[in-house]
Amino acid sequence: MTPAKQFNAEITLPEQYTHGVKQPIDASWIRLLYVALQQQNLPANELLASVGIESATLHELAYVQREVVLKLYENIAIHNGLDTLPSSIAKVFQPHFLRHTGAIMSDAKSVNDLLEKFIFASDQMNKLIKVVMIIKADYTWLVISSRVESLNIHKVSLEIGLCLVYRLIKQIFPADSAIIGNIILSVKSKRNDFENIFDCPVGYHNKDEYIIVINNKALTTRNIFSTHSIGFEPFIDSKFSTTVFKRFSDIERLIVENMASSNLNITFIADKMNVSVKTLQRQLKRFNTDFSTLLTKQKIKHAQMLLSENKFTLTQISYKLGFKSPSSFSRSFKQWTGVSPSNYQ
């Protein structure tokens, strides 16, 4: 029995997408749409202008409202380009397109880490789309659906999210065809142009969920191009289970998600993990590290990324990293790297 057959509940959601709901969406989404429209030879500049966005200033755009995206979808549909939009994005997408989300996809140290990074990026890019992992005996499902139950997210947005994850896996792990077992789509998306994107079996169900089924044996597949400071490479052939690797990724994810908090310490993370501090220390020791070292490496990594983007002020970066003042951040950064934040930029 394939995982797709385990879905048998029939759920019918309304077809209307309420425009009046004010929800901010990272402009990376619009930039992706713009490139895809160009790929389709559609009037990309005119289509953006139709919703009040000038393509010349697109790189400066930080956020747009959900209603702007929905209106853009409607205008693209007039040009018969909406159904082919996800496949166009799949053709042109590159990991660096998501750099504004704060997640460096190409630096993922394993398949599992890549999935975690995409979950983090989706939180930053589009607050309406939920991406979760469901771990089963042989497979892990990466489920893409609506985050807000009261809203019916446009199916094209969910299709695009699915395409982004699929392309990331294929681009960062091009030599391993066994990572993805199959794809499960909503029946609303049943069309040849969309199905042909995937080079694996495609199934359908009646839920508004889009699922990539990952082979659990492939979760620890290493990314040989990763420059991540810790990495799983020394441990891949050890007796560690997938659960142990997942736990380590969970610790890293919680550190990143709560980096701005003044309460971020080992006790805070242990509480989030529902384990004792001693258990957490023991788990980290298995990966030849400790909480202080891991926290510092994550702060260095994100400080360098934020400074390189030149998108935030020094004060904003300081608070994003959990420092009480820019001066305390500057002192720490110089101790870490030997240069001041301004010189690093």
CB-based contact 208:152 (threshold 8 Å)? yes
pLDDT higher than 80, residue 141 = yes
**Ranges 1-15, 44-58, 259-273, most confident:** 44-58
pLDDT of residue 8: 29
- Higher pLDDT: 255 or 247? It is 255
Which of 12-21, 132-141, 206-215, 317-326 has the weakest average pLDDT? 12-21
- Higher pLDDT: 43 or 232? It is 43
pLDDT higher than 90, residue 148 = no
CB-based contact 147:209 (threshold 8 Å)? no
Q: What is the residue extent of each domain of the chain?
A: 3-10+105-218, 24-98, 233-344
- Higher pLDDT: 148 or 336? It is 336
Q: Mind listing the pLDDT tens digit for each residue in 288-311? A: 788 988 888 888 888 887 887 777
pLDDT of residue 6: 34
Q: Mind listing the pLDDT tens digit for each residue in 195-220? A: 888 989 999 999 999 999 999 988 88
Q: How far apart are CA 110 and CA 245, in angstroms?
A: 10
Was domain 233-344 assigned CATH 1.10.10.60?
yes
Angle at 170 between CA 117 and CA 64, to 5 degrees: 50
Buried b / exposed e over 245-258, threshold 16 CB at 10 Å, is: bbbbbebbbbbbeb
3-class DSSP state of 15: coil
Q: How far apart are CA 48 and CA 194, in angstroms?
A: 24
pLDDT of residue 100: 57
DSSP state of 110: B
- Higher pLDDT: 167 or 9? It is 167
- Higher pLDDT: 126 or 186? It is 186
Angle at 325 between CA 27 and CA 117, to 5 degrees: 40
Q: How far apart are CA 53 and CA 51, in angstroms?
A: 6
Neighbours of 45 (CB within 10 A): 16
3-class DSSP state of 93: coil
Q: How far apart are CA 162 and CA 89, in angstroms?
A: 11
pLDDT of residue 14: 34
pLDDT of residue 239: 54
* Residues 175-198, mean pLDDT to the nearest whole number: 90
Phi-psi region of 214 (alpha: psi -120 to 50; beta: other; left: phi over 0): beta
| Lateral strand order in the sheet of 210-215 | 129-135, 139-146, 210-215, 180-186, 202-205
pLDDT of residue 127: 66
What token pair was written down for 199? 């080079």
Long-range contacts of 113-119 (CB under 8 A, 24+ apart): 113/223, 113/228, 113/232, 113/249, 114/168, 114/169, 114/172, 114/173, 114/223, 115/140, 115/142, 115/165, 115/214, 116/249, 116/252, 116/253, 118/142, 118/164, 118/165, 118/168, 119/253
Q: How far apart are CA 156 and CA 30, in angstroms?
A: 13
Q: What is the mean pLDDT of the chain?
A: 81
What token pair was written down for 255? 């550190």
pLDDT of residue 296: 87
* Residues 149-153, mean pLDDT to the nearest whole number: 65
